[in-house]
Chains A and B, each alone.
Chain A
């Protein structure tokens, strides 16, 4: 089941390399470098050092006692990626790729960002490692995540607001790819999710797999076996694939939660795996949200980090092979979970992660008290308090 390093980057029929010719030498160079260093002793030692001393790994697997009692079902554990430096799992990947870029002698780093978490994590890793970074961010996202824009600037990054298309993550990726095509000889593209042309989906998964490896070790210590269930949110799907991959061959039920937005029967959601169809975007063959002509659809989610019409190809593979169950949670339910976790545990989750929390609450209710369920809490919600405040006041107005 596990596809450690799939040939030609193909997870079953998904993945591959659909890219402009100018980028072919760049991804080949990247793949060569990644294969050379991924098992290199010094590379691993240096990455371990930064993950531990700079990012704050390992992260706790916290027993959410109050939430468990409130729900009244399975024991709920939180994998606290929100406690990492920067407040999200993104730093696992940016440190890994940053160290790789250094070994490739690339000094200029570009990245895309949705909610701004990957942008911040890129800016941090680049500052720490002495690299120069520029981040593309949809204009709409710069408006709803203003604080993160300022954080990136503080950290020494240049932020390019993208006013093309839907002005969200997908357009930020388009612009980053265009920059890469233009500056291919000097620039390293530090992709933030497990998407894009091979080898990105494999590489990002590998760097994020530290999440699932720790979950496995921590639950084994707790109960001498792997968790009964894990739940993670899926946009591009990097925290989810990092959670799932080390558990694929374990006896663990796995759930990926997509953004149901205002409902998957409406036009306003980002539920790619739940309601999309196969196609080609951003260098990969995967499930997409597209119309009958093959044009990419506008997406919506209250969580900017999930607002993306594609998904990592390995998720498409895990969906079709039925190893992982993918489902959706609406904006309303995500906000509700945001409030519940904040109130009961004193932990404010990112709106992205709130989707996983909402789904896990429903799931835990149906499970016996002897079972365990792990939620990957991919990020903290400080960045979202303004959005939630606005959402609540608008919804009160609407219900009057």
Chain B
């Protein structure tokens, strides 16, 4: 059992769903990343997703692009990322998921990269540009290290393909809510998003939890998705936006209250 699987079981027993919160390693700087992740945990995040920035994040919108650019300018790399993860891991047992792009993993060698992040305390990996057809070698190494490979599906993914993706996935399956990059600012989701949640949930059943991300930015939206059947909501750009737009002294209290509000949506009354 992985930490991610344990977490979903634990939440289920408490009649809760999962709130997954994101931080970008090195944004606004290494030290702050650690405090931000601690605030996410204090606010009630169930799982933390940590981004390792890539020079060409083609699935990401302006917010994560900008954070990636700034983090890279300050020299973020795998070694500094591992340091951050070790610090976090020494103080909490919360599941940690890495989100990055395939080339950063490939360039170090799948084996070397994956075993290094496992050792530091990462539990699962999300690579938005790693299609299942190309994932054989990557999956072998993930399984060897007893980690979770979290693949993405989209509203236009066919039923048959969702089944194949589910087969390759563990931990949870990540549904991209909308046609577009990360960081959408829509107040409500359109019909097709909710249909996609229903459809994916029907196929996944109880075998794998379904997380929904991309453009999740307020409690009302989160509720609509959870009510439709999702097991987790994933919030990334909205948190980075909050960090960018809040005076330094207030960042942490703002994060805590923002996370608390979203976490509430995952708790059934």
Contacts and interface: CB of A to CB of B under 8 A. Distances in A.
B153 A164 contact: no
Contacts of A288: 103
B102 A24 contact: no
A293 B54 CA distance: 10
Contact of B108 (A170, A278, A294): A294
Contact of A170 (B56, B61, B101, B103): B56
Nearest to A16: B134
A293 B152 CA distance: 24
B131 interface: yes
Contacts of B69: 164-165
B242 interface: no
A65 to B, nearest CB: 46
Contacts of A277: 107
Contacts of B78: 293
B131 A19 contact: yes
Contacts of B58: 20, 174, 177-178, 282
Contacts of B65: 164
A277 B155 CA distance: 35
A356 B69 CA distance: 35
B216 to A, nearest CB: 16
Nearest to A183: B179
Interface residues of B, number: 40
B161 A22 contact: no
Contacts of B107: 277, 279, 290, 292-294
B106 A182 contact: no
A223 interface: no
A25 interface: yes
Contact of A296 (B55, B128, B155, B157): B55
A283 interface: yes
Given A280-B102, A293-B104, A174 B161 contact: no
Contacts of B133: 8, 16-17
Contacts of A22: 154-156, 176, 179
A18 interface: yes
Contacts of B5: none
Interface in A40-54: none
A184 B78 CA distance: 33
A200 to B, nearest CB: 15
- Among the interface residues A24, A277, A285, which one has the most CB atoms of the partner chain B within 10 A? A24
User: Could you say which interface size class chain A belongs to?
Assistant: 35 or more
A174 B152 CA distance: 19
Interface in A1-24: 8, 16-22, 24
Nearest to A173: B58
Contacts of B102: 18, 280
B179 A25 contact: no
A181 B179 contact: yes
B176 A21 contact: yes
A279 B180 CA distance: 25
Interface string A265-295: 0000000000001111111010010101111
A21 B152 contact: yes
B70 interface: no
Nearest to B133: A17
Given A17-B134, A24-B131, A294-B108, A281 B157 contact: no
Interface in B53-80: 54-59, 61, 65, 69, 72, 77-78
Nearest to B62: A164
22 contacts: A17-B134, A18-B102, A18-B130, A19-B131, A20-B129, A21-B131, A22-B155, A164-B69, A165-B56, A174-B58, A178-B59, A178-B180, A185-B179, A277-B107, A279-B106, A280-B101, A281-B103, A282-B58, A285-B134, A293-B77, A295-B54, A295-B72
